[in-house]
C-alpha cells in the first residue's frame, strides 16, 4: 500500500513529500484505519474543471476532488488538487501556500475517512478536523524546525 503523488499540466513541485506521506499515514492510523493506495494528482484549474464536469457533472472550479475507493478499514482513493485554486485560496485567507496546501491535502483524506462537508454542520466539523490534523503536523515536525 502506498501514498503516491503525481503532477500534471502545472509547474509544481511538492514540498516535503516524505513528511506529507508520514503525516497522512499518522492521521489515518490514529483513526484506527489502514493506509491503502492513495493517489494525489496536482494539476491546473482546467484539468480539475474537466474532471469535475466529466465525473461529477459539476461545471465549477474547485480546489479538490476526492474519489473514494475505501473498503472497510482500508483507506484508498484518488485525490485531485488544483494548485491554482490552492494559491488563490491561500492569498484570500492570508496564509502561506504550504499551509493551505497541507489543509487541502488532509481535506481529501478526511473525506476518505468519512467526513462530509455538504451541510453547515459537516463543514464546521470538517474544519475542526482539518485544524486537528494541522496541529498534528506541527507536533510531528516541530523538532526539525527548531533545530
Q: What CATH number is attached to the domain comprising 106?
A: 3.40.390.30
- Using alpha carbons only, how large is the chain's radius of gyration in Å? 15
Helices vs. strands in the chain: H and E counts, helices first: 5, 4
- Locate 147 and state its grid cell: 533545530
Exposed / middle / buried, residue 80 (Cβ in 10 Å: 0-12, 13-18, 19+): buried
| Global pTM value | 0.93
pLDDT at site 137:
97
- Locate 19 and state its grid cell: 513528511
Is the Cβ–Cβ distance between 66 and 106 less than 8 Å?
A: no
Domain that holds residue 25: 3-146
Round to whole Å and give the CA distance between 87 and 55: 24
Domain count, the chain: 1
Write down the residue that cell numbers 488563490 correspond to: 88
How does pLDDT run across 113-144, given as a tens digit for each residue? 999 999 999 999 999 999 999 999 999 998 55
Exposed / middle / buried, residue 71 (Cβ in 10 Å: 0-12, 13-18, 19+): exposed
pLDDT at site 1:
79
Longest dimension (CA), the chain: 48
- Locate 39 and state its grid cell: 493517489
- Helical pair 120-146 and 97-112, crossing angle rounded to 10 deg: 130
Question: What would the mean pLDDT of 58-68 be, rounded to a whole number?
Answer: 94
The answer on pLDDT for 27 being more than 70 is yes
pLDDT at site 144:
54
pLDDT at site 143:
56
The answer on pLDDT for 84 being more than 70 is yes
How does pLDDT run across 70-80, given as a tens digit for each residue? 999 999 999 99
Question: What would the mean pLDDT of 37-55 be, rounded to a whole number?
Answer: 95
* DSSP code, position 114: T
Amino acid at each position: 500500500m502506498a501514498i503516491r503523488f503525481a503532477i500534471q499540466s502545472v509547474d509544481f513541485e511538492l514540498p516535503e513529500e516524505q513528511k506529507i506521506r508520514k503525516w497522512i499515514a499518522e492521521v489515518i492510523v490514529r483513526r484506527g484505519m489502514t493506509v491503502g493506495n492513495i493517489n494525489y494528482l496536482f494539476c491546473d484549474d482546467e484539468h480539475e474543471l474537466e474532471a469535475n464536469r466529466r465525473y461529477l457533472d459539476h461545471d465549477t472550479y474547485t480546489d479538490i476532488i476526492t474519489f473514494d475507493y475505501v473498503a472497510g478499514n482500508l483507506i484508498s482513493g484518488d485525490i485531485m488538487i488544483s494548485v491554482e485554486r490552492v494559491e488563490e485560496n491561500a492569498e484570500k485567507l492570508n496564509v502561506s501556500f504550504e499551509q493551505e496546501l497541507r489543509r487541502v491535502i488532509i481535506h481529501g483524506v478526511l473525506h476518505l475517512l468519512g467526513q462530509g462537508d455538504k451541510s453547515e454542520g459537516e463543514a464546521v466539523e470538517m474544519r475542526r478536523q482539518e485544524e486537528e490534523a494541522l496541529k498534528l503536523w506541527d507536533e510531528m515536525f516541530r523538532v526539525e524546525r527548531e533545530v
